[in-house]
Structure 1
Amino acid sequence: MTGHTELAKRFGTPSYVYDLDRVAKARDDLFAALPDEVELFYAAKANPHPEILREMRAGDGRVCRAEISSTGELTAVLQAGFDGADVLYTGPGKTEEELTEALTQGVRLFSVESLGDLRRIGETAVRLGVTADCLLRVNNATGAAVTSIRMTGVPSQFGFDSETLPALAPELRDVPGTAIAGLHFFPLSNAKDEASLIAEFRHTIATAAALQKQLGVPFRLVDIGGGFAAPYAVRGERPVYTDLRDNLAAALDEHFPGWREGAPRIACESGRYLVSGSGTLLIGVVNVKESRGRRFLILDGGINTFGGMSGLGRIMPVSVEPDEARGEAGVPASLVGPLCTPGDVLGRDVALPDIAPGDVLTIPNAGSYGPTASLLMFLGRPAPAELVVRGEELVSVSRIQHIRTYEHGQAL
């Protein structure tokens, strides 16, 4: 691949570099870790760059479907070659306008968070003369992976509480314009280890089978979620799961004997695992400052460039190193961005070699939750460049633009 230093000189900083070969390898590794019959949804929120979306559908083997939660993401995946039938539309706040757009574009599969959500989908579908297949998202009361980031089991805007779902069955089955197609789970994120991931999938599959009996609906699709781990903004390699395939198949054989013939179809979903390792963020050093015994490296990109997880309180620390080899680490420093807010911090007490203005730092495993998950509009600074490579080939260079549009002549 073209060197980072050369790319930084040609296109400036801050810049993201995405390697499509690494995207393809992560996609193929994850498919290899899943039984052949299991489908995979790519969570577009992780990185909706057009080249990455297209890569999810590339290759000679299995390809991803798309999981989205906005009409903006819908436009992106359709432009990248996905069909409306490839799409799962999720999210707790789907409006009538969004649903109209999605159904008009051929989307027929929706994750449903509540009875009100289901009714709104049904009303829109009836108006358009179609039927929407709906997966009931489940907020499970219990889980199996106690060492990972839990996504269920607490009061939440996401999903039906599992303990109340059976009592709602008559109402859920009787919403015009909808058909209950199955269930949607997302019980954990970034599983600590393969054993935790397997345990959670086993628990989810058992729960799904029990709910199928209680609801009295033969499921056509069960999305058992994700939880696949990958380092984010720190050095390291994503795991390759060697035991998941057989364990997942065994659990499905036990609880859904017809799954291999598609009764029901089984799906997983992933975002960060598929794209985090493909990206490197290049950030330039603007200034080095000492203040009351502390050292600050002032960078040309901060939470406006790499702020998605910071805004969610889930970043720190990051791994940062000079793009070119240096000596031993020196005085620890705080890594701060260019914004006029003390919250613009990417790292504290980071030990680095002697750094000077004009140097370029790199953050590894930054292919997910980058520009579109950051405070791009704050202070009106330019968005970072996004450089896509494949091997030695520079595939594309792009930058998100901020554009304000006006609607004239509208009564207020």
Structure 2
Amino acid sequence: MNADEIARRFGTPAYVYDLTEVRAACRALRDTLPRPHRLYYSLKANPHPVVAGTLAGQGCHAEVSSTGELAAALAAGFPPEHLLMTGPGKTGADIAGALAAGVRRFSAESAADLDRIETAARAAAVTTECLLRINADQPVPGMGLAMTGTASQFGTDLSAVLAAPERFRGRVTGLHLYMGTNIADEDTLLRQYEQSITIAAALGFELSELDLGGGFGAPYSVPGDRYAFPGLRSRLSALLDQHLAGWRHGRPGVSFESGRYLTGTCGRLITRVVDVKTSKGKTYAVLDSGVHHLGGMAGLRRLPRLQPRPHVGTGGDAQPYTLVGPLCTPLDTWAQGVTLPGLAAGDLLEIPNVGAYGLTASLLAFLGHPAPVEVVLDDGEPVHVSRLALHRTEVPVTTPTPTIPAGNNNKTNNNDKTKEYAR
């Protein structure tokens, strides 16, 4: 369904998600990874219930980092036993709520985080599986955005674990290592996995799961196809064979995470030109969408240059435009100096490859504009149309429920059974 028909039937701005592409991306990533493996979908990339539900239907598990993501994953159809709860700021109440919902697998970011998980599990009389997230002592060269290897809120420094392994050995069932994100180069991906695998082997913990994270890149807001990593499966399998010989039999089971690769190329944002004007020699195209709908991290200077596709133009001479939205702030700027055919009010632009880190990674509440309509297509036909709405809920004035304090490092009754991993 093209932009004209979407705009005519549903209005603008409009996010459009293609489930055919979601399934294709999932197949492509599974074909890239060693087998057997477990694949977690990171809800933060796109928590839309139909998009996430499609990945649940493809056999993915889910990685969640908040009570909101937990609720979204359950609503999308992920069984609670298929969820991994992560994040550096899990409170005792967060953990207790996840346990009550049936979650049993957690990633612990520190000794104190592990204490909180164990304390909550004892209070609920349940058994948990805890992965210890490790912050490597050295970054991997070539990372666009390094998650570990430097001072970080993520994970426990490897040197601290090596200095006191008894604080963790026997209390954790696995390791979680996530080195970087949005990596387009196969060699860089392999280097990060090699470092993670050698760390796991050197620690010598008895592990049921080794979560190697993700980092699989995808084009964002620019034209282009999914990236390919044709040699990754064979090269990574060889590394695992070398250092962790039992991995093919689930000792440990190997898992990966992805959000961007699975959903990035499924989405586009259709926006309409509201006004075109010139100020002091610069031509502005004012759109009905902006950083409140896409790229809200512009204020943190992390929004890349967008390359929109003009779908309907006046056909005039091409010229450079500064693309801005309707917000009352100069930060509402998508790109400057983008050369496009002559634009006029009413023309449509498409921003490609924004199925990940789009609407819910933006400044949706700022100024109170309505959210874009979200149109989900399957085989080219709309199967779900909705609009996200924010609302205020009154909270009774009561005494806050105390959070569950850290425990005393007592061991939980970890289950040593071999895990099942998707083949």
The aligned counterpart of 2:13 is: 14
* Contact persistence 1:43–1:270 (CA under 8 A): yes
1:204 is aligned to 2:196: yes
Q: Can you list the C-alpha shifts for 1:259-302, whole angstroms capped at 9, x where unaligned?
A: 11100000011110110100010011111111111111111111
Q: Can you list the C-alpha shifts for 1:57-77, whole angstroms capped at 9, x where unaligned?
A: 224xxx211000011111111
Q: Cα distance, 1:325 vs. partner?
A: 6.5
Q: Distance in 2 between matches of 1:244 and 1:149?
A: 20
Counterpart code for 1:366: V
* Contact persistence 1:308–1:369 (CA under 8 A): no
1:390 is aligned to 2:378: yes
The aligned counterpart of 2:324 is: 336
User: Under a length normalisation based on structure 2, what TM-score does the superposition of the two structures give?
Assistant: 0.91
Structure 1 moving runs of 4+ over 4 Å: 325-329, 408-412
1:164 is aligned to 2:163: no
Q: Cα distance, 1:96 vs. partner?
A: 1.4
The aligned counterpart of 1:185 is: 177
* Contact persistence 2:210–2:254 (CA under 8 A): yes
Counterpart code for 2:157: D
The aligned counterpart of 2:34 is: 35
Q: Cα distance, 1:408 vs. partner?
A: 4.6
The aligned counterpart of 2:345 is: 357
Q: Can you list the C-alpha shifts for 1:167-216, whole angstroms capped at 9, x where unaligned?
A: 23222347xxxx401110110112231121112212211111112x2xxx
Q: Cα distance, 1:149 vs. partner?
A: 2.9
Counterpart code for 1:78: L
Counterpart code for 1:295: T
Q: Distance in 1 between matches of 2:299 and 2:61?
A: 28
The aligned counterpart of 1:23 is: 22
Q: Distance in 2 between matches of 1:93 and 1:251?
A: 33
Counterpart code for 1:113: E
Counterpart code for 1:100: A
Counterpart code for 2:289: G
* Contact persistence 1:111–1:137 (CA under 8 A): yes
Among candidates 386, 389, 393, match of residue 401 of structure 1: 389
CA change 1:248–1:308 in 2 (3 A) is farther
The aligned counterpart of 2:407 is: none
* Contact persistence 2:136–2:148 (CA under 8 A): yes
**Paired residue secondary structure (2:172):** strand
The aligned counterpart of 2:223 is: 235
Q: Distance in 2 between matches of 1:411 and 1:114?
A: 29
Q: Distance in 2 between matches of 1:300 and 1:225?
A: 37
Q: Cα distance, 1:411 vs. partner?
A: 7.4
Among candidates 274, 278, 282, match of residue 270 of structure 2: 282
Q: Cα distance, 1:326 vs. partner?
A: 6.4
The aligned counterpart of 1:77 is: 73
Q: Distance in 1 between matches of 2:253 and 2:77?
A: 23
The aligned counterpart of 2:420 is: none
Q: Can you list the C-alpha shifts for 1:85-138, whole angstroms capped at 9, x where unaligned?
A: 100101011011111110111111111111111111111111111122111111
Counterpart code for 1:332: P
Structure 1: 5+ residue stretches without partners: none
Q: Distance in 2 between matches of 1:258 and 1:326?
A: 63
* Contact persistence 1:201–1:224 (CA under 8 A): yes
Q: Distance in 1 between matches of 2:140 and 2:350?
A: 37
Among candidates 370, 386, 401, match of residue 358 of structure 2: 370
Residue correspondence of structure 1 range 285-324 to structure 2 within 5 A: 285-324=273-312
* Contact persistence 2:140–2:191 (CA under 8 A): yes
**Paired residue secondary structure (1:55):** helix
* Contact persistence 2:49–2:76 (CA under 8 A): yes
The aligned counterpart of 1:268 is: 256
Q: Can you list the C-alpha shifts for 1:345-387, whole angstroms capped at 9, x where unaligned?
A: 1111111111011111100001011111111111111011110
* Contact persistence 1:143–1:203 (CA under 8 A): no
CA RMSD of the aligned region, Å? 1.7
**Paired residue secondary structure (2:44):** helix
**Paired residue secondary structure (1:53):** helix
Q: Distance in 2 between matches of 1:201 and 1:173?
A: 22
**Paired residue secondary structure (2:263):** helix
Counterpart code for 2:242: E
Counterpart code for 1:22: E
What percent of counterpart residues are identical? Answer: 45
The aligned counterpart of 1:249 is: 237
CA change 1:34–1:203 in 2 (3 A) is same
Structure 2: 5+ residue stretches without partners: 401-423
